[in-house]
Amino acid sequence: MQKIVQHWIDTLLGWLGFDPSHIAGVDQWIVLLLILVIVLAFDALLRLILMRGVRRIVRQTKVKWDDLLFSDRVLRRLSHIASPILIYVLLPVAFPAGSDALRILSRLAQIGIVVVFFQFVSALIYSAFCMMAQRPAWEGKPLKGLRQTGQGIALLICVILVISILINKSPTILLTGLGASAAVMMLIFKDSILGFVSGIQLSANDMLKVGDWITMPRYGADGTVEEVSLTTVKIRNFDNTVVTVPPYLLVSDSFQNWRAMQQSGGRRVKRSVNIDMTSVQFCTPEMLERFRRSGLLKDYVEAKQQDIERYNAERGITSTDTLFDGRHQTNLGIFRAYLVRYLNSEVRVNKSMTLMVRQLQPTETGIPMELYFFTDTVDWVTYEGIQSDVFDHVLAVIPEFGLRVFQSPTGTDVQLAADELRGVVSLPTPAAAASAAAPAHDGDTLPSGSSTPLE
């Protein structure tokens, strides 16, 4: 076949007026050029058939996964596989067997076959992972690292085959050499290997998804996960800075994932106000009467007072006895009951979650009164607004119970004390301070629930 083609080429060149003595060997390269033209035409025709024919069939199906699996990228790479194979088959037509040109070009064609096939496999892996990412079970999971791992393995096999073709040795020899240098390879590809293992753990245990809000104070990360690749996890902080950490740190170190909070429908408020211990006292009948006028406290005060009076009567304790004996209501206890009712009736709380108001261990800065509840929204801006409104009201209503907020002395306090020593002003007595801390309002009542700042 080769001699027939070359004879035909020589005859054609002689007919065109070329001297046969000057065209020795040129006919082989002309045949190679004709082969390349034929291969390019065949490649264009095959690509046209695949791109139009297969895509037309795919569009007619009702399922969606085949649109990704047979995407334009995959079909284009598939159409290129036949070209280097065809060149490799037709090369003996242009060059005689055993020639150096045939040996070199054959190896280049084999390398082309390996490279084109690798590109097709890489595109197929990419489409397969895109198809997986659209499934609800895999949505948001760090699939990019696994995809890069698959493409990396395919690339490693491609490199081994290319090198074995260039040196004309079996790939098993290279694999044996790689086994001997495994320690060096593990050192070079340490991050990739750890990233691959970490990616599997993150996906299998559902520890992290793209879009999750995570916090890693040790590494300055507090924001949304934007990308999880084989070697890095990209986190965009709320100040729009970007932090990148290796995936294996998310497995070997601890991090806080706020996804469960966002999915729960409620975000926790856990904040306390310190009460001055010297302002805590038993309630007088006048104070109880004033508390009864509060819409939020009326039922509580009456029920509590009846329970206390029944308890004291069973033990023979009368109201004329000293306060050392029996049970009595305190302004701090009524204040705590008020806060519980205020949160339940006037604040946007998630009623299916924990709600309580509790006293913490007294310290040198007073008695911490902690409000522990969950809002009915996880939106950050709305959450902060609810929390601020609650404590605006709490700080403003504390004096109504004869209580004082503990606050470290300021320059003004020191100045007032100095003026008192000089006789300029007169500091209020404790009784006057308690009276001033509980000013009278219209009807001498506490602010009702409808007057709170939260609507």
DSSP per residue over 221-288, as a string? EEEEEEEE-SS-EEEEETTS-EEEE-HHHHHHS--EE-HHHHHHT--EEEEEEEEPGGG--BPPHHHH
| Two tokens, residue 253 | 């170190």
How much is the average pLDDT of 48-75?
74
Strand partners, 244: 234
How much is the average pLDDT of 129-157?
73
CA distances, 114 to each of 29, 101, 171, 174 (Å): 24, 20, 13, 16
How much is the average pLDDT of 58-75?
72
H or E element that contains 306: helix 298-314
Quote the mean pLDDT of the chain: 80
pLDDT digits (tens, 9 = 90+) for 102-133: 788 888 888 888 999 998 888 888 888 777 77
Strand partners, 76: none
Comparing 375 with 178, which gets the higher pLDDT?
Answer: 375
pLDDT score of 354 more than 70: yes
Contact 359, 368 (CB under 8 A): yes
Task: Read off the pLDDT band of 367 (50, 70, 90).
Answer: very high
Comparing 7 with 35, which gets the higher pLDDT?
Answer: 35
Share of the chain above pLDDT 70, in %: 77
How far apart are alpha carbons 140 and 208 in whole angstroms?
A: 8
Name the nearest CA neighbour of 269 among 359, 214, 211, 347: 347
CA distances, 153 to each of 191, 196, 198, 221, 262 (Å): 15, 11, 17, 31, 37
Task: Read off the pLDDT band of 14 (50, 70, 90).
Answer: low
The pLDDT score that the predictor gives to residue 70 is: 73
Q: What angle do CA 124, 127, 131 make, to 5 degrees?
A: 135
Query: Residue 369 in 3-state DSSP?
Result: strand
How far apart are alpha carbons 329 and 301 in whole angstroms?
A: 9
Strand partners, 228: 233
The pLDDT score that the predictor gives to residue 439 is: 47
H or E element that contains 215: strand 213-216
How far apart are alpha carbons 240 and 262 in whole angstroms?
A: 21
